[in-house]
Amino acid sequence: MKIVWIIGHDAKEQGAYGNKGVSEFRFNDQLIIEMRHERMFPDKHEYRVMYRDPSISGYKSQMIDLHRRINAWGADVSIELHFNSFHRDEVNGNEVLYCSNGGKRIADILDECLDVLPNRDRGVKKVSGNDRGAGFCCRGQSYAIISEPFFGSHQHLFTRGGELRSLLKNAYKKFLEKL
Ligand SMILES: [Zn+2]
């Protein structure tokens, strides 16, 4: 399979910040670089890391451009990486967003792999219309999903030296193995 990791948000608008002061963009960018470096991407797939283009104004236009590049490469699966903002909810937990039926199959696999995290399994969520995440998930030719493995109020457990960081990396690795 051809798999694209998309680092959620962009260098200009970095998304939410966790309790260690690390943005969604920076956190996920570092995590994927680290996983690559540690050879945690199984050889059976091909991988690309893609970014939203911060020079394009407007979320929708960014998404159109992003999926144009994802489609041009011929990706089967695309995963946009985020974490949940702790302003919205004090509880911790993981969730995976999807839009299409095919996307649900992929989301279910990731959700199962995220079960190793000792936080609440908030399950998979179908998004559509103007829902948060629908602009990414409901577009393009690949099975597009969004991963939100924890809430920013628990970021300290997932940053470098945090006790759950390697669990999270292993969950993503397991997911790739199962695809
Ligand atoms: Zn986000």
Over its length of 179 residues, how does the chain's per-residue pLDDT go in tens digits?
999 999 999 999 999 999 999 999 999 999 999 999 999 999 999 999 999 999 999 999 999 999 999 999 999 999 999 999 866 556 779 999 999 999 999 999 999 999 999 988 889 999 999 999 999 999 999 999 999 999 999 999 999 999 999 999 999 999 999 99
Q: Rounded to two decimals, what is the model's pTM?
A: 0.96
Distance 179 CA to ligand 1 centre (A): 24
Distance 136 CA to ligand 1 centre (A): 11
3-state SS of the chain: helix, strand, coil percent to 5? 40, 20, 40
Pairwise CA distance, residues 45 & 2, whole Å: 6
Strand order through the sheet with 46-51: 46-51, 2-7, 77-81, 143-148, 93-98, 120-126
CATH (domain of 100): 3.40.630.40
Distance 37 CA to ligand 1 centre (A): 24
Pairwise CA distance, residues 134 & 127, whole Å: 5
Cα 104 to the center of its chain, rounded Å: 14
Structural domain harbouring 172? 2-178
In Å, what is the CA distance from 166 to each residue of 15, 42, 75, 110, 130? 23, 16, 27, 16, 34
Distance 116 CA to ligand 1 centre (A): 22
Query: What is the reported pLDDT for 120?
Result: 87
Amino acid at 38: E
Distance 2 CA to ligand 1 centre (A): 23
Query: What is the reported pLDDT for 152?
Result: 92
Distance 105 CA to ligand 1 centre (A): 22
Specify the number of domains making up the chain: 1
Distance 82 CA to ligand 1 centre (A): 4
Query: What is the reported pLDDT for 96?
Result: 97
